[in-house]
Homo-oligomer: A and B are copies of this chain.
Amino acid sequence: MKVLVVFAHPEPRSFCAAMKDRAVAFFSARGHDVLISDLYAMGFDAVAKAEDFAYRRDPDYLVYALEQRHAFETGTLAPDIRAEVDKLLAADVLLLVFPLWWFSVPAILKGWFDRVFLSGPFYGGRRFYDRGGLAGKRAACLITAGSRAHMLREGGIHGPLELVLRHLLQGTLGYVGFTVLPPFVAWHVPYVDEATRADYLCALERYLEEFDRLAPLPLPSLADFDELMRPRGARAETSGSDATR
Partner-B contacts on A (CB < 8 A): 10-11, 13-14, 40, 46-50, 61-65, 101-108, 110-111, 113-114, 117, 129, 146, 148-151, 153-159, 163-168, 170-172, 175, 190, 220, 222, 224-225, 228-231, 235, 238-239, 241-242, 245
Known: A155-B231, A163-B166, A166-B166. 17 other contacts (CB 8 A): A10-B64, A46-B46, A47-B107, A102-B172, A102-B175, A103-B166, A103-B171, A104-B171, A107-B107, A110-B110, A150-B228, A155-B241, A156-B238, A158-B171, A159-B166, A165-B167, A167-B167
Tell me the complex Cα distance, A111–B108, Å.
Answer: 8
List B contacts of A64 (CB < 8 A). 10
Which of A102, A113, A164 counts the most B-chain CB atoms under 10 A from its CB?
A: A102
List B contacts of A224 (CB < 8 A). 157
List B contacts of A163 (CB < 8 A). 163, 166
A11-B63, A155-B241 as given contacts; A107 in contact with B110, CB under 8 Å: yes
Decide: A149 and B108 in contact? CB cutoff 8 A: no
Per a CB cutoff under 8 Å, which of B104, B110, B148, B168 touches A228? B148
Decide: A235 and B155 in contact? CB cutoff 8 A: yes
Tell me the complex Cα distance, A111–B106, Å.
Answer: 7
